[in-house]
Amino acid sequence: MSTQSENQTSAPWILVGLLALVAGIFGFLFFQQKGDLATQQTEIVAKAKEIAFTKTKLDSVSRALDEKIAEVTRLGGNVTELESVKAKLEADLAQLKKGDRVENRKYLAKIKNYEKFLAEKDTEIAALKEENERLASTNETLNSEIGTLNEDRANLQRRQQELTDTVSLFNQENRVLTEKVNLASALKAQNLNVTAINSRGKEREKDSYKARKVDKIKVAFNLAENPLTKQENKEIYMRVLDPEGAVLADEAIAGGNFTTVSGEDSKYTTREVVSYTNDNQKVEMVYDYAAQFRPGKYNVELYSEGYKIGTSNIVIR
């Protein structure tokens, strides 16, 4: 009985011990879990800070890249490499939120590379600025030289125009002088006498002639002495104009065209080549008209070297 009573008395205490043990275990587990949560929270905060720091650095690098791109563009440099790096940085920013602590360290390594790249670009930009300043100085010098050259060219153009005007004036005066010399050296027909020759070859000299008795006309004249005229063969053209002013010309026999000193193309009736001897030589030219002369006044003109050297007329009734 006593043993059973003792067992009944110790049972509650065992239960209390077990409950205390369970409570202790739960308490230990509670405090352990609370410590783990605090550790995790600390890690999360640390990671967030790292991500925020990394993002801030990347944003700073991004702004620096934008500034470098704008500056290199202004300086006229090549921004292809800068734009390529900027694209990679934007991709890194987009992927940053997906990374863990290890990847975040990789981003920090990338940031160092970006910063190194920016430092290298600062050196290149400094060199580009120096080159631009040198080019600007050279350009200023060239602009000054171009201004001087333009002024010299304008002076040369004015001088050339003055010379051109002088040459033009000289040529004009020379042409006038040449025309005067040519006119002074031109042949001059003097003592012109126009007579009629009948079909039997008999020549008559009258004030007028009957048409039926005129078969040919003869023009006789002297070539005046002129020391300015070259002693050489001269072509003398005779123009016979009928009462209406038309030139009698039979190209199948002797007629043709010649050019006057004024450049006008003119018909002639007949021509003769004379060796000028400068001794008042006498020249005779005969025109045999195939048809019968009509009544009226016929004018006779003589030309040589384009100049008119004498005129006369004959009246046929």
Q: CA nearest 62: which of 78, 81, 85?
A: 85
Tens-place pLDDT, residues 151-163: 888 998 988 898 8
Mean pLDDT value across residues 91-99: 74
Q: Is 202 left (phi over 0), alpha (psi -120 to 50) or beta?
A: beta
Q: Examine the pLDDT at 184 and tell me if it is beyond 50.
A: yes
pLDDT of the residue at 8: 59
- Identify the pLDDT of residue 204: 84
Q: Where are the beta strands (DSSP E) in 229-280?
A: 233-241, 256-259, 265-268, 270-275
How confident is the model over 60-82, as pLDDT tens digits?
Answer: 888 888 888 888 888 888 889 88
Predicted pLDDT at 266: 94
Q: pTM of the predicted model, to two decimals? A: 0.50
CA distance readout (Å), 155 to 152, 159, 185: 5, 6, 44
Q: How confident is the model at residue 142 (pLDDT cuts 50, 70, 90)?
A: confident
Q: What is the pLDDT of residue 32?
A: 67
The domains of the chain, with CATH numbers, are: 1-185 (no CATH), 189-316 (2.60.40.1930)
54 near 105, Cβ under 8 Å? Answer: no
Percent of the residues in the chain that have a pLDDT greater than 90, as a whole number: 34
> pLDDT tens for residues 256-280?
999 999 899 999 999 999 999 999 9
Lowest mean pLDDT among 47-61, 93-107, 198-212, 280-294: 93-107
CA dihedral sign, ordered 89, 93, 98, 101: positive
- SS percent in the chain: helix, strand, coil, step 5: 55, 20, 20
Q: How far apart, in whole angstroms, are the C-alpha atoms of residue 233 and residue 181? A: 19
Q: b/e for 100-123, b at 16 or more Cβ within 10 A? A: eeeebeebeebbeebeebbeebee
**pLDDT (0 to 100) of residue 48:** 62
- Mutual angle of helices 80-96 and 2-75, in 10-degree steps: 160
Of 40 and 76, more confident = 76
d(CA 261, CA 183): 10
What's the rounded mean pLDDT across residues 290-299?
92
Q: Which residues pair with 240 in a beta bridge?
A: 300
Mean pLDDT of the chain: 84
Question: Quick one: pLDDT at residue 102?
Answer: 47
pLDDT grade for 241, boundaries at 50, 70 and 90: very high
Structure tokens at 56: 């801030």
Span 93-104, mean pLDDT? 65
Q: Which residue is associated with the tokens 């209406």?
A: 244
Residue of higher predicted confidence among 108 and 246? 246
36 pLDDT higher than 50: yes
The pLDDT, as a whole number, for residue 230 is: 92
Pairing of strands 282-288, 216-223: antiparallel
Q: What is the pLDDT of residue 46?
A: 59
Q: By C-alpha distance, which of 79, 81, 86 is closest to 63?
A: 86
Its sign, for the CA torsion 291, 292, 296, 299, is positive
Range 81-106 average pLDDT:
75
